[in-house]
A and B are shown apart, each in its own frame.
Chain A
């Protein structure tokens, strides 16, 4: 199974790709059914998502809340803009992090496509940030939900 690629595009873009051994409809569902999102979109081991709102229709709300079972916790909010099952999603999202960072983070606009690739799926996420420094800062603070837990973990480890 090929792994994640993460490419920085120009000053403000990031493109992430990943292949999955299931058809686009299944991968799309895993990204839009909250009961499924809660099972996998957790970042490093030890984190859970006690709250998952994922109303996959244009204008529908997104809210993911992560917990490490203790004091660690943060959440993401967003809205769907375009929903074309099973091949394309467009949404905006922002992270709500503990101080002193920017809170919430600037809006990240993400187009996600699910394209048949043999018997599997090529997932592509194209992210667009407001400016280059924000882009770099968001890479560091974890613009993508799965990434964020890593950051919190790492920060705790490195700040001790």
Chain B
């Protein structure tokens, strides 16, 4: 699995690119169609599309003269395995806190109300 989280996150760290991803989540679109709602030029949108493409978040196919974009299947799923791993790091912290509390508050002892 070619995982490049830095590239993914850098690509998503821009509001225009997030909006493009949100638009593509609704279905395929050309760069012209993607550019329509934005007050910025089509070449600027093309640059954003290129960054998303290089990050593996979107795919483009050739359809005659059109090159429509779509979301890469599972592109954002690569975040999921991290969730499981990150939980482990957090749980390790809390296990340490359990041990700390066990020393200061042995089972059965209650704080004065």
Chain A residues with a Cβ under 8 A of chain B: 1, 3-4, 6, 16, 18, 20-23, 25-27, 30, 36, 39-45, 100-102, 119, 131, 133, 136-137, 139-142, 144-151, 153-155, 158
Chain B residues with a Cβ under 8 A of chain A: 3, 5-6, 8-10, 12-13, 18, 21, 76, 79, 82-83, 85-94, 96-102, 104-105, 107-108, 110-111
Task: Evaluate contact between B79 and A43: CB separation under 8 angstroms.
Answer: no
Residue among A6, A20, A23, A155 making CB contact with B111, cutoff 8 Å: A23
Task: Evaluate contact between A45 and B92: CB separation under 8 angstroms.
Answer: yes
Complexed CA–CA distance, A3 and B93 (Å): 12
Complexed CA–CA distance, A96 and B111 (Å): 38
Task: Evaluate contact between B100 and A44: CB separation under 8 angstroms.
Answer: no
Name the A residues within 8 Å of B89 (CB-CB).
43-44, 142, 146-151, 153
Task: Evaluate contact between A6 and B87: CB separation under 8 angstroms.
Answer: yes
Task: Evaluate contact between B107 and A21: CB separation under 8 angstroms.
Answer: yes
Q: Which residue of chain B has the shortest Cβ distance to A148 in the bound complex? A: B89
Task: Evaluate contact between A4 and B94: CB separation under 8 angstroms.
Answer: yes
Task: Evaluate contact between A119 and B90: CB separation under 8 angstroms.
Answer: no
Task: Evaluate contact between B93 and A42: CB separation under 8 angstroms.
Answer: yes
Complexed CA–CA distance, A1 and B8 (Å): 36
